[in-house]
Chains A and B, each alone.
Chain A
Amino acid sequence: EPEVTQTPSHQVTQMGQEVILRCVPISNHLYFYWYRQILGQKVEFLVSFYNNEISEKSEIFDDQFSVERPDGSNFTLKIRSTKLEDSAMYFCASSGLRAGTEAFFGQGTRLTVV
């Protein structure tokens, strides 16, 4: 069964460092997303990506964040200068249908900023 895969599963980084979280969406999907879940809180939308550009982003997704689809399979989230409050589970998702319908999530990357 096709699935969304994310690497690494856990990343520890020092405050101020750059991190890149990687995702391989389901191959025939057209819409790609990043969500995050801070411990004990809701799953929150960060950004959606369609046709090689950002289609929607939340207030959380400020200038410190960027996304890229460098080739036909990978989808990355970069945080330029990490802060303690960026510590969270980051989930990549993809959807083949109309955006805002069934999105399939990866297993997540736990980011710990120390």
Chain B
Amino acid sequence: DQQVKQNSPSLSVQEGRISILNCDYTNSMFDYFLWYKKYPAEGPTFLISISSIKDKNEDGRFTVFLNKSAKHLSLHIVPSQPGDSAVYFCAASAGGGSEKLVFGKGTKLTVNP
């Protein structure tokens, strides 16, 4: 059941450059999307979210873009810092009474000094 797909298992970028993490989804009922960051031996930490009525949401260095027609969202981190190195999970929820988050497999981001 691959309703949320993160096709890149890993990404490596230089400090100061932009990191772009991608996520695709198949369920057109999804109306809310979230990005979580996870360090080893810790739980997922909420980063940023976006409702389906928007196409962009920005919070400091983090921006999420949503393209509903393509069923695609992306997380941009600018500038990337070594402390951003972690696994990033895309998640989605369908609303309409459904309460669960459906997660992607994650992308491991490494920011090199």
Chain A interfacial positions (CB closer than 8 Å to B):
4, 6, 31, 33, 35, 41-45, 48, 50, 55-56, 58, 91, 93, 98-108
Cα A93 to Cα B49 in complex, Å, equals 16
Q: Which partner residue on chain B sits nearest A31 by CB separation?
A: B99
Shortest A103–chain B CB gap in Å is 6
Task: Give chain B's interface residue range (CB within 8 Å of chain A).
Answer: 20 to 34
Shortest B91–chain A CB gap in Å is 8
Which 5 A-B pairs give the minimum distances between C-beta atoms? A100-B93, A99-B99, A105-B43, A45-B100, A48-B99
Chain B interfacial positions (CB closer than 8 Å to A):
32, 34, 36, 41-46, 49, 89, 91, 93-95, 97-106
A56 and B98 contact, CB distance less than 8 A: yes
Shortest B28–chain A CB gap in Å is 16
A56 and B100 contact, CB distance less than 8 A: yes
- A residues near B46, Cβ cutoff 8 Å: 102-105
Q: Which of A35, A42, A107 has the most CB of B within 10 A?
A: A42
A101 and B105 contact, CB distance less than 8 A: no
- B residues near A42, Cβ cutoff 8 Å: 103-106
Known: A45-B101, A99-B98, A100-B99. 7 other contacts (CB 8 A): A33-B99, A43-B44, A45-B100, A56-B99, A58-B100, A103-B101, A107-B42
Cα A58 to Cα B99 in complex, Å, equals 11
Q: Which partner residue on chain A sits nearest B43 by CB separation?
A: A105
A43 and B99 contact, CB distance less than 8 A: no
A108 and B98 contact, CB distance less than 8 A: no
- A residues near B101, Cβ cutoff 8 Å: 35, 43, 45, 100, 103
A102 and B45 contact, CB distance less than 8 A: no
- B residues near A104, Cβ cutoff 8 Å: 46
Cα A9 to Cα B105 in complex, Å, equals 23
Q: What are 7 of the A-B contact pairs (CB < 8 Å)? A: A31-B99, A43-B91, A44-B103, A99-B99, A100-B99, A105-B44, A105-B46
Cα A99 to Cα B44 in complex, Å, equals 17
Q: Which of A31, A43, A45, A99 has the most CB of B within 10 A?
A: A43
Q: Which of A55, A58, A100 has the most CB of B within 10 A?
A: A100
Instruction: Given A56-B100, A58-B100, check contact A102 B34 (CB 8 Å).
Output: yes
